[in-house]
Structure 1
Amino acid sequence: MRGTLTATGIVLAVLLAYALSCIIRPFRDCWVCDGQGHFRSKSNRKLSRPCFWCHRTGKRLRIGRRLWNRARRLHRAAN
């Protein structure tokens, strides 16, 4: 019983820490272009093109922040 409570507490602490980090820093570097907004072709290193995933910003919304925004939108639509 004590191990279950400890494990639950650890999981809740990790989830709370992730939620707080999503509130404080909602954006992260794009995983495709590493935050540069463009990436180089593998065949020709001199050619670079805009990143399709981040739309040339170099930043993407984190998954937790996307879920939070969707939940807020649903809550507002229900009222």
Structure 2
Amino acid sequence: MRGTLTATGIVLVVALVYASSCIIRPFRDCWLCDGKGHHRSKRKSKLSRPCRWCNHTGKRLRIGRRLWNRARRVHRDAAAGAKIAR
């Protein structure tokens, strides 16, 4: 029983730390271009092209922040729908 409570506490602390990091720093470096906005082609190493994953910015929105934004959007749309139905 004690091990289960400890494991649950550790998981909750890790989730809380990740959620706070998503709030403080919602963007992270792109995994493909390493935050540069362009990357080298695998076939021809001297050519570089714009990164399509980050839209040439070098930053991508974190997964946790995407989930948070989607949940807020669903909540906002549901509240707006409830006001219209009244």
Please list the CA deviations of residues 9-67 of structure 1 after superposition, one character each: whole Å capped at 9, or x if unmatched.
00000000000000000000000111000011122222111000000000000000000
Q: Which moved more, 1:49-58 or 1:36-45?
A: 36-45
The runs of 5 or more residues in structure 2 that have no matched partner are 80-86
Q: Which residue of structure 1 lines up, in the alignment, with residue 83 of structure 2?
A: none
4+ residue segments displaced more than 6 Å: none
* Distance in 2, Cα, partners of 1:7 & 1:44: 48
Q: Which residue of structure 1 lines up, in the alignment, with residue 60 of structure 2?
A: 60
Q: Secondary structure at the match of 1:77?
A: helix
The runs of 5 or more residues in structure 1 that have no matched partner are none
With the length of structure 2 as denominator, give the TM-score of the two structures: 0.89
* Distance in 1, Cα, partners of 2:20 & 2:75: 20
Q: Secondary structure at the match of 1:60?
A: strand
Q: Which residue of structure 1 lines up, in the alignment, with residue 84 of structure 2?
A: none
Q: Which residue of structure 1 lines up, in the alignment, with residue 76 of structure 2?
A: 76
Question: Aligned residues, how many?
Answer: 79
With the length of structure 1 as denominator, give the TM-score of the two structures: 0.96
Q: Which moved more, 1:35-44 or 1:6-15?
A: 35-44
